[in-house]
Amino acid sequence: MTDPVHVDPLVTETADRLFSEICGHEAVQLAETRGEAPEIWNAFADTGFPWVSIDEAAGGSGGSLLDALEVLRVVGYHAAPIPAAETGILGGWLLASSGQELPAGIVTVVPNGGSELRGSVSGDELTVSGRALRVPWARVAERIVVPLEVDGQTVVASIDVEDCHVEPMTNMAGEPRDTVDFDEVHVPVAPTESGIDLEAFRFRGALSRAALMAGAIEKMSQLTVSYTNDRVQFGRPVAKFQAVQQHLVWGAQDAALARMVAETAAREANRGAAQFEIAAAKLIANQAAARATKACHQAHGAMGMTQEYPLHHLSRRLWSWRKEYGGDAEWTKWLGKVAVSQGADQLYPLITGGSANFN
Amino acid sequence: MRFTPTELTQEELDLQQEVREFLAEELPPGSHEPCLGMAARKDKDFSLKMAARGWVGMALPKEWGGSDRTAVDRFIVVEEMLRWGAPVGHHWVGDRQTGNVILKFGTEEQRERFLPAICRGELGFSIGMSEPDSGSDLASVSTKAERASDGWIINGTKIWTSGAHENDWFVCLLRTSPMEDGNKHAGLSQILIDLRSPGLEISPIPFLDGSHHFNEVTFNEVFVPDTNVVGDLGMGWHQNTTEMAYERGGPDRWLSPFSTVEQLLREARGTELEDTVADLFGELAARWWGIRNLSLSVARLIDTGEAPSVESSLVKEMGTRFEQEVVEKLVHLIDLEYSPDSESLFERLLAQCVVTFPGNTIRGGTIEILRSVASKGLKGLPT
């Protein structure tokens, strides 16, 4: 295997062009009202993008994890209302890692944390019961992927959405985060490859959110620069005022920072051990989202608080993603344990060397 | 504007390792009082030792005594020195910016005269920009250099001049022709002045804690020969702006409190850390990792021949605020009454951070000025 360190520029261009055409403000708004966006999903699926990074032999589109995360960054940039992470690098990855078939349609995955699910194995059969919370886009999924620890091993249940009960719920951006009830659903037992467990899934989920957030913060920063250069008060564009420039600079810094850490974590994850980078990237993305949404909203004034202006598609997603796959406290704690266990002399080598410096 | 992720090559990692070994040998932890970033003690012997390794003026050409190394190599050396709290004050300005300015704009004679001495770690430089009536509005400087036979006569005053009482040379931005209406950037020139020149008077401006870094330098009919003018007459503003790009965005803008944080962890060894303190190490490790990646990408960009002034202004604005935030977080969490004479090194360092760090967002261009530089380069939505 080669070790691709750079994203194929064609991936960025193609994804960006696709969403620029079909995923404007009205389309995203409509998806929120309807709770689904089949036209956007179908156009996205036609390109094969949802399955990038999953081997062709396993039914995927091939390509690297770096490429897949770049697609997610572009999805975040356009606030595309589709379960791109769930179908590909989360659900698709779990299915491929447990030797299961990739369906043609939408896949979602039950995030770990908060759900009360029970799995029991009897012979070749796994039985899943309980309630899963905040499952992205379950209502439009073909299959719901459930990773579980059962008897000390990690197994992946691939469940037909027809075999469970879905109750529509949403996140702060109005995107589906449904409640799903499983009542003794029987599926074949499918253990994961070694090294792929609930912890690895948690980190991968965080990596997906860091990529989405990097895209959304960048778009938000650009939108704010454009708006403040157009908006005239006291006879000149408000972007000329120092007090407003402060918000523009802070937004741009957080856009640059969030993208840098997401891309650096992606590079390391593409190679192997990347726990430090992913944890740090998600924490930094969370903090950047908090600061940048505040700065960009402030610079927009009242217009940014309306539904007719597109800022909220980005800011509300960022507030939601900040809490998904680990909020500030979870990753701060994880990082704190690592930093303290390294000790004073190894603190700086941890900062420069990252995951390569421990384990 | 684009910060492209980069990483160190094997050769660069080898350099990093070499610097770490040098520091472990020269300044083992516990053997020295760490400095807080670039406001470091002047220790000429230490500068000479670094220079002997080829680490002063290292990005300058071999022809002039340098090592032909890259901006990234210099980043690595500076980063390790600062995080260790090494006494880099003596060669700091010459290494960071004056060498570059003389290489880029100076005459052959000036290069020969100054660059090898900078690379040997011998020369200390001060920077003469601010004046009593010119701070952020730098182009309004009024210290005058007037034509004399074979040279210039200088009259006026520079202030906030760090280290003038200890350094050898002074790179000054001076008005060499009168201000024209509507073009205040014209008529300025950069001139090298010997700090021991007759008529040049240096008086201390005590720092708020009583220490002596700042000076007021007054020129009373100071003569400077023609050969000390750097670059073309009247091009001082342009040269000065170029110089600032070297000054901004490096590790000196975000590493100043590192040795304090590291010392807290060192002194806590063996004791049970409160969760909130452990969390702080986690958060700070992550944030230093993030900002270091941005700053390193700026150094890589400089090596491709770019002058990333917007990027480096963004990093400096962010980095210096981060430094202050680190100190505030420590102050908030650590319930001690620390002071500059506390028994604990951590407490002494923290007290020093509290008292001196308000200056971090002021020196070398206030964050307000940086914001206006950076915001002009920001891009809106693609059209």
Q: Which residues does chain B have within 8 Å of residue A248's beta carbon, measured at their own beta carbons?
A: 375, 378
Is residue A340 helix, strand or coil?
helix
Q: Do the Cβ atoms of B318 and A333 come within 8 Å?
A: no
CB-side neighbour CA atoms (13 Å) of B300: 15
Helices (H), chain B: 10-26, 44-52, 71-84, 92-93, 99-105, 108-119, 236-247, 258-267, 275-303, 309-333, 345-356, 367-376
Residue A329's CB is within 10 A of a number of other CB atoms, namely 11
Residue A4 has pLDDT above 60, yes or no: no
Examine residue A96 and state whether it is found in any structural domain, yes or no.
Answer: no
Which residues pair with residue A186 across a beta bridge? A127
Asked whether residue A138 falls in the same domain as residue A202, the answer is no
Q: What average pLDDT score do residues A92-101 get? A: 96
CATH number, residue A239: 1.20.140.10
Examine residue A88 and state whether it is found in any structural domain, yes or no.
Answer: no
What is the residue extent of each domain of chain B? Answer: 10-123, 127-233, 248-376
**CB-based contacts of A235: which residues, under 8 Å, 6+ apart?**
none
- Lowest mean pLDDT segment, chosen from A31-45, A151-165, B244-258, B272-286: B244-258
Residue B1 has pLDDT above 80, yes or no: no
What CATH homologous superfamily does B127-233 map to?
A: Butyryl-CoA Dehydrogenase, subunit A, domain 2 (2.40.110.10)
The CA distance from A84 to A53, in Å, is 13
Shortest distance between the Cα of B6 and any Cα of chain A, in A, equals 8
The CA distance from A150 to A98, in Å, is 14
**% of chain A beyond a pLDDT of 90:** 95
**CB-based contacts of A182: which residues, under 8 Å, 6+ apart?**
A117, A128, A129, A130, A131, A132, A146, A159, A163, A164
Q: How confident is the model at residue B121 (pLDDT cuts 50, 70, 90)?
A: very high
pLDDT digits (tens, 9 = 90+) for B194-239: 999 999 999 999 999 999 999 999 999 999 999 999 999 999 999 9
Partner A, chain B 263-292, Cβ-Cβ below 8 Å: 263, 265-266, 269, 273, 275, 278-292
Q: Do the Cβ atoms of B374 and A252 come within 8 Å?
A: yes
Sheet of A107-109: strand order equals: A107-109, A143-150, A153-160
Is residue A136 helix, strand or coil?
strand
What CATH homologous superfamily does B248-376 map to?
A: Butyryl-CoA Dehydrogenase, subunit A, domain 3 (1.20.140.10)
Q: Which of A103-107's residues contact partners 24+ apart within 8 Å by CB, and which partners?
A: A103/A142, A103/A143, A104/A142, A105/A141, A105/A142, A105/A143, A106/A41, A106/A137, A106/A140, A106/A141, A106/A142, A107/A83, A107/A141, A107/A142, A107/A143, A107/A144, A107/A145
Residue A1 has pLDDT above 90, yes or no: no
- Asked which of A162, A194, A226 is the last residue of a domain, the reply is A194
Domain span at residue A256 reads 198-357
Examine residue A123 and state whether it is found in any structural domain, yes or no.
Answer: yes
Residue B39 has pLDDT above 50, yes or no: yes
* Phi and psi at residue A148, to the nearest 5°: -140, 150
The crossing angle, in degrees rounded to 10, of helices B258-267 and B275-303 is 150
pLDDT digits (tens, 9 = 90+) for A70-80: 999 999 999 99
Q: Which residues does chain A have within 8 Å of residue B292's beta carbon, measured at their own beta carbons?
A: 351-352
CB distance from B371 to chain A under 8 Å? Answer: yes
Best CA proximity match to B3, nearest among B294, B218, B241, B248: B294
Neighbour-count burial for B305-326, b at 16+ CB within 10 Å, e otherwise: eeebbbbbbbbbbbbbbbbbeb
Asked whether residue A186 falls in the same domain as residue A215, the answer is no
Asked whether residue A324 falls in the same domain as residue A208, the answer is yes
**Exposed, middle or buried: residue A115 (CB in 10 Å: 0-12, 13-18, 19+)?**
middle
Asked whether residue A68 falls in the same domain as residue A131, the answer is no
Q: What average pLDDT score do residues B338-361 get? A: 96
Asked whether residue A112 falls in the same domain as residue A62, the answer is no
Interface test with B, best of A78, A226, A246, A332 (most B CBs within 10 A): A332
Asked whether residue A259 falls in the same domain as residue A336, the answer is yes
| C-beta of residue A108 within 8 angstroms of C-beta of residue A92 | no
* Of the partner residues B5, B279, B381, the one whose CB lies closest to the CB of residue A226: B381
* Phi and psi at residue B166, to the nearest 5°: -120, -20
Was domain B10-123 assigned CATH 1.10.540.10?
Answer: yes
**Predicted local confidence at residue A114, as pLDDT:** 64
- Asked which of A194, A220, A239 is the last residue of a domain, the reply is A194
Examine residue A100 and state whether it is found in any structural domain, yes or no.
Answer: no
Q: Which residues does chain B have within 8 Å of residue A343's beta carbon, measured at their own beta carbons?
A: 265, 269
Asked whether residue A283 falls in the same domain as residue A158, the answer is no
Residue B107 has pLDDT above 90, yes or no: yes
Examine residue A65 and state whether it is found in any structural domain, yes or no.
Answer: yes
Which residues pair with residue B175 across a beta bridge? B144, B188
Interface test with B, best of A219, A278, A311, A335 (most B CBs within 10 A): A335
Examine residue A94 and state whether it is found in any structural domain, yes or no.
Answer: no
pLDDT digits (tens, 9 = 90+) for A215-226: 999 999 999 999
Examine residue A90 and state whether it is found in any structural domain, yes or no.
Answer: no
* Phi and psi at residue B355, to the nearest 5°: -80, -35
The CA distance from B340 to B36, in Å, is 13
Structure token pair of residue B15: 């350099």
Asked whether residue A216 falls in the same domain as residue A333, the answer is yes
Q: Are strands B125-128 and B169-175 parallel, antiparallel or unpaired?
A: parallel
Interface test with A, best of B371, B372, B379 (most A CBs within 10 A): B371
One-letter amino acid for residue B274 of the chain: E
Asked whether residue A17 falls in the same domain as residue A156, the answer is no
- Do the two domains B10-123 and B127-233 of this chain adopt the same fold? no
- Domain total of chain A: 3
Residue A234's CB is within 10 A of a number of other CB atoms, namely 8
Asked whether residue A217 falls in the same domain as residue A349, the answer is yes
**Predicted local confidence at residue B2, as pLDDT:** 82
Is residue A166 helix, strand or coil?
strand
- Asked which of A82, A117, A138 is the last residue of a domain, the reply is A82
Asked whether residue A133 falls in the same domain as residue A39, the answer is no
Shortest distance between the Cα of B34 and any Cα of chain A, in A, equals 14
Please determine, for the modelled complex, whether the ipTM score is greater than 0.90. Answer: yes
